[in-house]
Amino acid sequence: MFLCWCLSLVALIPLTTSTNPGVKVKLTAKGIEYGRQLAVASILQKLKTIKLDDMSGKVRVAIGKVKYSLTK
C-alpha cells in the first residue's frame, strides 16, 4: 500500500513543476500487481489481529424483522 502511494506521488510530481523531471517512472501492469500483492498481504496481517465480540439482536426492516447472530 505504501509502495503504491509512493509511486503515485512520484508520478504526480512532474505535473506540479514546470521543469524536466530528474526521474521518470513507468508503471507497468506487473508493477501494479506487485504493489497490490504487498497491500493485500499487509491488510490480511492487520485483519488477523482484530478481535470482535459476539453480537446478536433483532432489527426491523421494511419487509419485517431480521434476527442476526455473529459469533466466532
* β-sheet bridge partners, residue 55: 70
CA distance 3 to 9: 10
Residue 35 has pLDDT above 80, yes or no: yes
Q: What is the pLDDT of residue 67?
A: 94
Residues 8 and 16: their CA atoms lie apart, in Å, by 13
Is residue 27 a contact partner of residue 8, using CB atoms and an 8 Å limit?
Answer: no
Q: Is the pTM of this model over 0.75?
A: no
pLDDT digits (tens, 9 = 90+) for 36-65: 999 999 999 998 898 888 999 999 998 899
Strand partners of residue 60: 65
Spell out the residues 6+ positions from residue 32 whose beta carbon is closer than 8 angstroms to its own.
Answer: 4
Under the banding of pLDDT at 50, 70 and 90, the label for residue 25 is: confident
